Structure 1
Amino acid sequence: MTALSPLIRTVLPTDLDRCFAIETLAYEGDEAATREKIATRIATWPEGFIVAEVDGGVAGFINAGATFEVQMADEAFKELIGHDPAGSEVVIMSVVVHPDFQGQGLSRHLLQAFIARMSELGKARIHLMCKERHVPLYQRFGFHYVQASASVHGGMAWHEMVRAL
C-alpha cells in the first residue's frame, strides 16, 4: 500500500459518530471509549483532539487532555475530570486509525502533527499508555519507556511512556 497524505485538522462536533465508530473498531473489548466520553473530549478540549481526513472522511485521530499533575492510572481523567487546558502535561487517551487505513502512515502523520501542536501550545511533556507491542512505535517518535502501568483498563496490560517537548 502507498502512504497517504491526509488532511490533519482539529476535530469538529460533526466528527463524533465517525470517531466513535473508529474507536470501537480499533480497540478491543471495553477498552474503547464510549460515545459520551468522545463527545466530552470533543467539547472540552478540541485543541487536544486532531483527526486525519482522507477523501473527505475521518480515517484516524488522536485525543488528549491537559493537566498539571499526571496520574496515568486515573480512570476519571478519561472523562476529562481534572483536565486543565493550561496544564503543562498532556495525556493522550487515544491514537486510532481505522483498520482500512492502517499501515499507510496515518499514525505517523497524526503523531507528528500532535507533537508539533502541543509544542506550539507550550506544553512540557506528552504522556501515554500503550500495549507492549506499540512501545517501539512510540519510541520512534521520541517517547521514552517509563514503566508497566498499574492500570488494568479494559482488562489489558499497559505501559507508560513520556515525551518531553
Structure 2
Amino acid sequence: MPGLNIRSAKASDLDRCFEIERVAYAGDEGATKEKILTRINTYPEGFIVIENNKEVIGFINSGATHKVELSDEAFKELIGHDATGKHIVIMSVVIHPDYQGQSYTSLLMKHFIETMTKLQKAEIYLICQTELVKMYEKYGFDYLGKSDSDHGGLSWHEMSLNLLSK
C-alpha cells in the first residue's frame, strides 16, 4: 500500500504507541507507558510499527526467550528476556481503531514473521482472546489450548507459529 512504512520502533514513538494501546485495549489489558518504553529500548528489533504518511497506526511488540511461559506476567516487563533466545513471545498486536479493517494487521504480521525468520528465531508464541484465534490461524499459528493467564481479568488462548518449517 502506498504511503506505508514498517520499521523498528524508536523512543520518539512512545506517546503514539501508548495512545494506541490505551484506545484499542479494554480495561487493564493494555500496557503502561513505562512498559512500552522498556519494550522499545530493550528489544527494538521485536517492536515493529506501521505508519502512514501522518502517524504510527499500529504495532507489534515482543520479547525473546529460551524458555516460554505464556502466563508469566513478569515477562511483559521483559524480565527474563534474552535477545539471543530462539523463542519470540508477542505481547501486543494492535492497530488504532481509526485504521482497523483495512488489512494493516495482515501487512504488519507478515512483516513481523519475515523479520523473526531472518533473525533465525525458531517459534513465535502469543496469547489471544477467543475471537482472534481464527485470525492467527490464517497466519499459520497453531492453537495450543486455553491459557492459565488471566491478564486484564480476561480469558486467553495460547498459540504458536513454528518458523523452522517455513
Letter in 2 for 1:121: L
Letter in 1 for 2:33: R
Whole-Å separation in 2 of the counterparts to 1:141 and 1:23: 22
On the 8 A contact 1:60/1:98 being kept in 2, the answer is yes
Whole-Å separation in 2 of the counterparts to 1:4 and 1:89: 32
Ranges in structure 1 where 5+ consecutive residues have no aligned partner: none
Letter in 2 for 1:160: E
Alignment of 1:117 with 2:115, yes or no, is yes
Structure 1 vs Structure 2: percent identity of aligned residues?
55
Which of 140, 143, 156 pairs up with 1:142?
A: 140
Superposition pairs of residues 79-118 of structure 1, within 5 angstroms: 79-118=77-116
Q: TM-score, normalised by structure 2?
A: 0.96
CA deviations on 1:51-77 (whole Å, 9 max, x unpaired) are: 000123100000000000000000000
RMSD of Structure 2 on Structure 1 (CA):
1.0
SS in 2 for 1:83: coil
SS in 2 for 1:82: coil
1:5, distance to aligned residue in structure 2 (A) = 5.9
Which deviates more, 140-149 or 4-13? 4-13
On the 8 A contact 2:3/2:53 being kept in 1, the answer is no
Ranges in structure 2 where 5+ consecutive residues have no aligned partner: none
Deviating 4+ runs (over 6 angstroms):
none
Letter in 2 for 1:153: H
SS in 1 for 2:36: helix
SS in 2 for 1:60: strand
